[in-house]
Amino acid sequence: MVKKIVKIFSLAVLFVVVPVIFGSANAASLKFDKTTVSTTNGGTFQIAVTVDPGSDALSSVDAYVTYDASYLKVNSVASGTLFPTVSNDISTSGKVYIAGMVNDPTTSISTSGTVGTITFQALKDGSTSLTFDCSSSKIIKNDVNASDVMTCSQNNSSAVTIGGG
């Protein structure tokens, strides 16, 4: 009986106390640099797409930002400074794609930073939001499996108010 109690206590320490003391691994996520934006009808604003690698070393990021095309249009995307190679595609209405990648597979990115900055133009008064399409976006770990390490629940969004909202 004493052995069972000691075993249960040991398991409790292992699964409850140890993670609290040492913390869990940080999850990789995509973020906007602003969680709220206010602009005028016809006005423009910039919002940066950033990546937090958590505890991982990354080789690339594929970020798909979704927006309501009746309220906003994308004017341009500027490359961020985190990855040496950045590309984008703004041809799809309601979605903009930004990719960042390392040039040499033996290198990786282990710090948070900007993948790209999107310039939006407001088309009409109202409220809308910018979000990451989690089914398409990926944060790729620099490992042999090119593992997607993004934790969607850690991504943020940005609320946009145009005119009076």
pTM for the whole structure: 0.83
CA-based Rg of the chain, rounded to a whole angstrom? Answer: 20
Model confidence pLDDT, tens digit, residues 14-54? 444 444 334 345 799 999 999 999 999 999 999 999 999 99
Q: Cβ distance 149 to 155 under 8 Å?
A: no
**Residue 79: how many other CB atoms lie within 10 Å:** 17
For 19, the enclosing helix (H) or strand (E) is helix 18-22
Model confidence pLDDT, tens digit, residues 95-136? 999 999 999 989 999 999 999 999 999 999 999 999 999 999
Instruction: Give Cα 55 to chain centroid, integer Å.
Output: 14
Distance CA 95, CA 65 (A): 6
